[in-house]
Amino acid sequence: MRPADHLPDILDHAWSLLVRGGADRKSPVHTPVVCSVDNEGLPHARVMVLRKAHRADGTLRFHTDARSPKVAQLDGRAVVVLAYHAAEQVQLRISGTARVLTEGEPVDGIWNQSTLFARRCYLAENAPGTPLPGPSSGLPAWIEGQQPTAEQIGPARANFATLWISVTSIDWLHLANSGHRRALFRAGDGWAGAWVAP
C-alpha cells in the first residue's frame, strides 16, 4: 500500500523500510545491492547484509572482511545502495559516502554483540577473492560445521570491519498499475523532498 502522497510521509516510509531491513532478516531490504566505482572507473556491485539503519544520524551499517578488495573500493567513496521491497512495490536508491572502520570502541562493541557463529566467517584463512585450487568455504578445516568458542574466535577480530554509509539522498519509487510515483530527498536541502518524474 502506497503511503499518502505527502512528502514527509514518504520519507518516513523510506526510513521505516530501511530500519526494518536492518532489524528483520526476512525483509527484502535486509540484503540490498551496494554499488561503487573503483580507481579505474570500473563499476562494482555486491549484495550485502544491512545490519542497521540509523535515521537520526542518517547512516546505514554493514559488516565486511577488512581484507576484502571492496574495502578499498568503498572507503571514502560515493556509493549507491539499491533495495527493492516487492510487497510494498517500492524501490529505494540511496546515495551516500562510505567509510570503513576496523578499530575503536564502536567496532569492538558491534563485534562483541555478534554471535560466535556469525563471527566464524572472519576466521577465513585467505582474503575474499583469493584464488583457491577448488571449492571451499575458506574456513580452516578444524572449524568447518562447528561453532567456535570465544577463545577460538579471538584471531578473527583482526579481519572484521564495519562499513558505514552516510546517506546524502534517497530516491523513492513506488511502482503501481495505477501510475508510478517518485520522490527525491536530499540531505543538502534538509530532506524537504521533491516530486520527480518516475
CB-count burial class (<10 Å; 0-12, 13-18, 19+) for 132: exposed
Ramachandran angles phi, psi of 141, nearest 5°: -55, -35
Task: Report d(CA 147, CA 184) in Å as an integer.
Answer: 45
Q: What is the pLDDT of residues 139-159, one digit of tens each?
A: 998 888 888 999 999 999 999
62-66, 128-132, 182-186: segment of lowest average pLDDT:
128-132
Helix H or strand E encompassing 47: strand 43-47
Q: Average pLDDT for residues 25-38, to the nearest whole number?
A: 96
> Which CATH architecture fits 7-126+137-195?
Roll (2.30)
Res. 55 pLDDT band, cuts 50 70 90: very high
- Grid cell digits, residue 122: 572472519
Residue type at 191 in one-letter notation? W
Give pLDDT, residue 3.
59
Give pLDDT, residue 144.
87
Which residue has 559488516 as its cell numbers?
63
Name beta bridge partners: 183: 172, 195
pTM of the predicted model, to two decimals? Answer: 0.93
Beta strands in the chain (DSSP E): 33-37, 43-47, 52-54, 59-65, 78-85, 90-101, 160-174, 181-186, 194-195
* Most confident range, picked from 44-48, 114-118, 175-179: 44-48
Q: Is the pLDDT at 1 greater than 50, yes or no? A: no
- How many Cα neighbours within 13 Å face the side chain of 38? 10
Give pLDDT, residue 4.
65
Report the chain's mean pLDDT, rounded to a whole number.
94
For β-strands 90-101 and 78-85, DSSP reports them as antiparallel
Task: Report d(CA 85, CA 21) in Å as an integer.
Answer: 10
Residue 73: partners with Cβ closer than 8 Å, 6 or more residues away:
36, 37, 38, 44
